[in-house]
Amino acid sequence: MPKPSLFAVIYTPYYRLQCAQQKRLRTESNQQADLPFADRQTELSDQYSQSYSSNSNSITHQTIPPVTVYIREDIASALLEDSQIIEINPTAEAAGVKIGITPSLAVARAPELQLYAPEVELERQQQQALLQLCYRYSPFIESTGPGVCTLDLRGRRNKNQEIWARDLLSRWRSLGFAANVGIGPNAELAAQAAKFANPYLEVVENSQLLRSLPLESLQPSAYLLEILHNWGIRTLGALIQLPREDIGQRLGLEGLSLWDRAAGRSAKVLHHLQPPEIFKETIDLEQRLETLEPLLFILRRSLEHLVLRVESVYRLVAEIKLQLHLDSGDKLERSLPIPAPTQDITILFRVLSQYLETVQTAAPVVGFTLEVFASDPAKHQFDLFYSRLKDPNRFFQTLARLAALVGNNRAGIPERLASYKPDNIRLRLPAFDWKSNSSISAESDQPRIGPALRRYRPPIPATVELADGKPICIHSNLIKGHIDKQRGPWRTSGNWWDPDGWEIQEWDIQVTDRGIYRLTFSAGNWAISGVYD
Amino acid sequence: MSSGKIVELRQVLAERFPREIPPPASLLTTGIECLDRSLEGGMRRGTITQLVAPYPSCGSASLLHDLIDSMHTSASQFVALIDGKNSFEPLGNTDLLLWIRCENANQAVRATDLIIRDGNIILSILDLKQNEVQELRKVPLTAWYRLQRVAADSGTTLLLITSHYISGSCFAAVQINNPLRINDLAELSYTVSQTRLLDFIYRKNYAELGYAQA
């Protein structure tokens, strides 16, 4: 016997207005506006702590703090487009503001009314975030409308839908949105339940709730609505009291469809989609920023949002890409790889802020695009006897600081180039899983001869006196005097076929009470290239 | 103030502000016999150990290479070398060596501060052998004490190589006392290392270090 179908709809009321409010709140630098919701924030924080601690996923052990931006629902707000009010919040509605009226009339009715302009790009990005969030709970989802997502719950074993629904709501809330979740045996019922939920409602077929809903809740055509009103039909319950065949004869297919939907028999087919794993936010700032602090403040909020989204798909942040939009029209772009992918907002923000501290722009910043790239957790077979870096991210930040202090390519693992030329070395950065490529290299198989050399970089010029072709006396800024003993010469050369060719004659000399040095003769000049120590 | 009063003052401070005695396992064994013997088992973790190499050619660079090789082969440990005069000549397997090429002592001390504060690397070597005495004197004394504190907090062991004894913040100091001869160039490096003479210079006792007596 097939299991009964079950659908859920998450419905974000006045979604476009909430997006516009989000945008303004995020670019504000004053967090005190959030104070009335501090209690709710603490509550959410507790919920998150519990949910993370109960999560058996080994990806993370840190609690991501919820984003601190919450919309003030106690202030009348309205969305304005083409000189008309197109969306209002309940406070504005209670103050007498209606959809479709002019802004001047709206302000006359509610003087404290805050007007917002639509943020189309942010609406698109947040819709993407909603879909990614819902995909966490069901692989069969539909982007039903702005701020609305339908989930097909087939295959879910848990009979108590409220637990995960409230988890979904709290995650969506942590991204800054207030929403409702409705559960029903079909998508239509679930959608109707979501509109009337507070914030969760589960309905069954032919429920009293559905019967009491007005006809307008199914959004029939104005023509059909007028006919039904003339018949005295005002609720869905009244409509389904009429025989279905008679409705079909008189009102046609549209009437039949409306009757089926009112009776909860809608067989709507969902347009399933798989949201792409793109975690990106573009913010156009209302003011030009010339200092780092306010930019970091806004960036942190965006980063927190993106990390929450990445976390919702059980992934880790492996790279941050930041594009600064300058007032001059130029764009400054930089990718910041994370050596050890993580969800730790502190580490990620440290990487971002450390980079920005070194940036100087030619013009003020007017916006930015922040994108994070998700990856799976790194898989490592830990070695019993091999000590790994304790904190790779911190180590690579230290390497970046060292590079800033001593210069690029002056800190790393030494590597000999494929040449016999003396002092032909380059430095490479260690990989994340920094370890020896070979336990014992071929070179280290051979025993070392004599003491090691300390090089003078660059070599110290010297004047050398010769007798029978051997150096017997040396004058330089480092050493002066008679050479007691000498060994050599050892001649090396290479690359004779190109201008970078080299030919060197080397001598080892012992100067009275001054140590043992390596003397080189190249291109007609003597120099002290090192000291044996 | 006489040295006797300083010792007395340190003992009073140690009694008033006692610290825990480090566990016996807090020694980092280098695997170099003469060095471990001079240091009575190895370098103490979280402290600065100073190696004084007073002669231009006395084997300090060879000891540095031996130390890197030993840490690599015996313990697979990462080693950071902060090269104060960019004079290191890499040999053999250096896969686990982080080499920081500095131009002067001041830069090297700052780089060392970053490395030991990081806490990822167990042994750091600050090689200031080739830096001029005048240059080292310009490094403020507070910088050495800061390094001492940071090393203690992070548990990193720091080996300081200089041509003369400079730091009062080190836990122990040893000196190489045999100058090399040109005949040593023909010998195996192992043979040269065997004849290396390390003299004990100084070691702090617990009271001087601030540790309470057991």
Q: B38: pLDDT confidence band, cut at 50, 70 and 90?
A: confident
pLDDT score recorded for residue A380: 57
User: Residue A353 is part of a domain; what is its CATH number?
Assistant: 3.30.1490.100
Any B CB within 8 A of A401 CB: yes
User: Residue A142 is part of a domain; what is its CATH number?
Assistant: 3.30.70.270
Partners of residue A466 on adjacent β-strands: A471
pLDDT score recorded for residue A265: 75
* B85-113 residue pLDDT tens: 999 998 876 778 899 999 999 999 999 99
Residues A337 and A457 in one domain: no
- Strand boundaries in A292-384, DSSP class E: 316-326, 331-342, 365-375
* A427 to B101: CB separation less than 8 angstroms, yes or no: yes
Asked if A308 and A174 touch (Cβ cutoff 8 Å), the reply is yes
Query: How many angstroms away from the CA of B210 is the closest CA of chain A?
Result: 28
**Tokens 């919702």 belong to which residue?**
A312
Residues A412 and A288 in one domain: no
Would A249 be classed as within a structural domain?
A: no
Report helix, strand or coil for B79: strand
pLDDT score recorded for residue A38: 34
Would A460 be classed as within a structural domain?
A: yes
* A449-480 residue pLDDT tens: 778 889 998 999 999 998 888 888 999 988 88
Would A258 be classed as within a structural domain?
A: no
Kindly state the average pLDDT of the residues B68-95: 83
Asked if A178 and A12 touch (Cβ cutoff 8 Å), the reply is yes
* A435 to B179: CB separation less than 8 angstroms, yes or no: no
Report helix, strand or coil for A57: coil
Mutating which of B57, B117, B128, B183 best tests the A interface, going by the most A Cβ atoms within 10 A?
A: B57
The domain boundary, picked from A324, A351, A375, lies at A375
Nearest CA in chain B to A479: B56
Mean pLDDT is highest, among A77-86, A216-225, A400-409, B181-190, for: A77-86
- Which residues have a Cβ under 8 Å from the Cβ of B31 and sit 6 or more positions away? B67, B70, B71, B74, B75
Which pair of structure tokens corresponds to residue B98?
């982080």
Asked if A109 and A97 touch (Cβ cutoff 8 Å), the reply is yes
Any B CB within 8 A of A523 CB: no
Contacting residues of B for A413, CB less than 8 Å apart? 94-95, 97-99
Would A80 be classed as within a structural domain?
A: no
Does A3 score more than 70 pLDDT? Answer: no
Quote the domain boundaries for residue A410.
Answer: 380-436
Residue A118: asked if its preceding bond is cis (omega within 30°), the reply is: no
Does A133 score more than 60 pLDDT? Answer: yes
The domain boundary, picked from A184, A205, A226, lies at A205
pLDDT score recorded for residue A435: 58
The CA dihedral of A194, A200, A206, A211, to the nearest 10 degrees, is -60
Does A46 score more than 90 pLDDT? Answer: no
Residues A332 and A194 in one domain: no
Residues A353 and A388 in one domain: no
Asked if A66 and A48 touch (Cβ cutoff 8 Å), the reply is yes
In degrees and rounded to multiples of 5, residue A309 shows phi and psi of -70, -40
Asked if A314 and A370 touch (Cβ cutoff 8 Å), the reply is no
Listing DSSP states for B162-186 in one string gives ESS---TT-SEEEEE-----GGGGG
> Is pLDDT larger for residue B22 or for residue A489?
A489
pLDDT score recorded for residue A57: 32
Kindly state the average pLDDT of the residues B151-163: 89
Asked if A149 and A142 touch (Cβ cutoff 8 Å), the reply is yes
Does B210 score more than 50 pLDDT? Answer: no
pLDDT score recorded for residue A484: 87
pLDDT score recorded for residue A312: 84
- How many domains, chain A? 4
Partner-chain residue, chosen from B75, B98, B186, that has the shortest CB–CB distance to A450: B186
Pairs of residues, one from chain A and one from chain B, whose beta carbons lie less than 8 Å apart: 185
pLDDT score recorded for residue A17: 92
Residues A50 and A143 in one domain: yes
Q: Where does A65-185 have alpha helices with state H?
A: 90-94, 103-109, 120-135, 161-174
The domain boundary, picked from A349, A375, A401, lies at A375
Asked if B54 and B175 touch (Cβ cutoff 8 Å), the reply is yes
pLDDT score recorded for residue A358: 80
Running DSSP on this structure, what letter comes out for residue B203? E
Does B164 score more than 60 pLDDT? Answer: yes
Residues A480 and A517 in one domain: yes
* B184 to A450: CB separation less than 8 angstroms, yes or no: yes
Residues A511 and A368 in one domain: no
Which residues between 442 and 471 in chain A have a beta carbon less than 8 angstroms from any beta carbon of chain B? 443-444, 447-457
Which pair of structure tokens corresponds to residue B141?
């004394």
* B89 to A427: CB separation less than 8 angstroms, yes or no: no
Partners of residue A521 on adjacent β-strands: A505, A526
pLDDT score recorded for residue A382: 54
Which pair of structure tokens corresponds to residue A469?
């072709």
Report helix, strand or coil for A216: helix
pLDDT score recorded for residue A149: 94
Query: What distance in Å separates the CA atoms of residue A529 and residue A417, rounded to the nearest whole number?
Result: 19
pLDDT score recorded for residue B81: 94
This model of the complex carries an ipTM of: 0.83
* A322-363 residue pLDDT tens: 999 999 989 999 998 887 888 889 889 988 888 888 888 889
Residues A493 and A473 in one domain: yes
Kind and range of the H or E run holding A481 = strand A480-494
Would A178 be classed as within a structural domain?
A: yes
Report helix, strand or coil for B117: helix
Residues A176 and A306 in one domain: no
Kindly state the average pLDDT of the residues B46-71: 88
Report helix, strand or coil for A23: helix
Query: What distance in Å separates the CA atoms of residue A278 and residue A299, rounded to the nearest whole number?
Result: 18
Q: A44: pLDDT confidence band, cut at 50, 70 and 90?
A: very low
Any B CB within 8 A of A109 CB: no
pLDDT score recorded for residue A54: 34
Asked if A316 and A377 touch (Cβ cutoff 8 Å), the reply is yes
Asked if A315 and A373 touch (Cβ cutoff 8 Å), the reply is no
pLDDT score recorded for residue B211: 40
Which pair of structure tokens corresponds to residue A170?
């709290």
Query: What distance in Å separates the CA atoms of residue A144 and residue A268, rounded to the nearest whole number?
Result: 11
- Strand boundaries in A297-410, DSSP class E: 316-326, 331-342, 365-375
Count of H-run helices and E-run strands, chain A: 15, 20
Would A46 be classed as within a structural domain?
A: yes
Would A145 be classed as within a structural domain?
A: yes
Query: What distance in Å separates the CA atoms of residue A284 and residue B210, rounded to the nearest whole number?
Result: 57
Nearest CA in chain A to B76: A386
* A180-232 residue pLDDT tens: 999 988 888 888 888 888 888 888 766 677 778 888 888 888 889 899 999 99
Partner-chain residue, chosen from A435, A436, A452, that has the shortest CB–CB distance to B62: A452
Residue A103: asked if its preceding bond is cis (omega within 30°), the reply is: no
The rounded Cα B153 to chain-centroid distance in angstroms is: 17
Kindly state the average pLDDT of the residues A518-522: 90
Query: How many angstroms away from the CA of B203 is the closest CA of chain A?
Result: 25
Query: What distance in Å separates the CA atoms of residue A178 and residue A170, rounded to the nearest whole number?
Result: 9
Report helix, strand or coil for A342: strand
- Strand boundaries in B7-89, DSSP class E: 27-28, 43-44, 48-52, 79-83
Asked if B198 and B88 touch (Cβ cutoff 8 Å), the reply is no
pLDDT score recorded for residue A60: 31
Does A381 score more than 80 pLDDT? Answer: no
Query: How many angstroms away from the CA of B88 is the closest CA of chain A?
Result: 6
Residues A129 and A53 in one domain: yes
Contacting residues of A for B96, CB less than 8 Å apart? 434-436
Does B192 score more than 90 pLDDT? Answer: no
pLDDT score recorded for residue A5: 78
Q: Across all residues in chain A, what is the average pLDDT?
A: 81
pLDDT score recorded for residue A279: 92
The residue type of A482 is: H
In degrees and rounded to multiples of 5, residue A381 shows phi and psi of -95, 105
Kindly state the average pLDDT of the residues B63-92: 85
Residues A464 and A518 in one domain: yes
- Mean pLDDT check: name the lowest of A24-28, A425-429, A443-447: A443-447
* B182 to A484: CB separation less than 8 angstroms, yes or no: yes
Residues A12 and A131 in one domain: yes
Domains and CATH numbers, chain B: 3-209 (3.40.50.300)
Which residues between 422 and 441 in chain A have a beta carbon less than 8 angstroms from any beta carbon of chain B? 423, 425, 427, 430, 434-441
CB atoms < 10 A from the CB of A458, how many?
A: 9
> Is pLDDT larger for residue A484 or for residue A33?
A484
* A443 to B118: CB separation less than 8 angstroms, yes or no: no
**Tokens 């806490």 belong to which residue?**
B119
Q: B23: pLDDT confidence band, cut at 50, 70 and 90?
A: low
Would A227 be classed as within a structural domain?
A: no
Q: A303: pLDDT confidence band, cut at 50, 70 and 90?
A: very high
* A472-518 residue pLDDT tens: 899 998 888 888 888 888 888 887 787 777 888 899 998 877 789 99
Q: A85: pLDDT confidence band, cut at 50, 70 and 90?
A: very high
Sign of CA dihedral A177, A180, A182, A186: negative
Asked if A188 and A9 touch (Cβ cutoff 8 Å), the reply is no
Q: For chain B, what percent of residues have pLDDT higher than 70?
A: 80
Does A432 score more than 80 pLDDT? Answer: no
Asked if B44 and B28 touch (Cβ cutoff 8 Å), the reply is yes
Q: B25: pLDDT confidence band, cut at 50, 70 and 90?
A: low
Q: For chain A, what percent of residues have pLDDT higher than 90?
A: 23
Partner-chain residue, chosen from B95, B122, B129, that has the shortest CB–CB distance to A413: B95
Query: What distance in Å separates the CA atoms of residue A67 and residue A77, rounded to the nearest whole number?
Result: 22
* B91 to A455: CB separation less than 8 angstroms, yes or no: no
Which pair of structure tokens corresponds to residue A35?
């104070």
Nearest CA in chain B to A404: B111
Partner-chain residue, chosen from A401, A456, A484, that has the shortest CB–CB distance to B114: A401
Query: How many angstroms away from the CA of B114 is the closest CA of chain A?
Result: 7
Give me the half-sphere count of Cα atoms (radius 13 Å) on the Cβ side of residue A113.
28
Query: What distance in Å separates the CA atoms of residue A195 and residue A203, rounded to the nearest whole number?
Result: 12
pLDDT score recorded for residue A357: 84
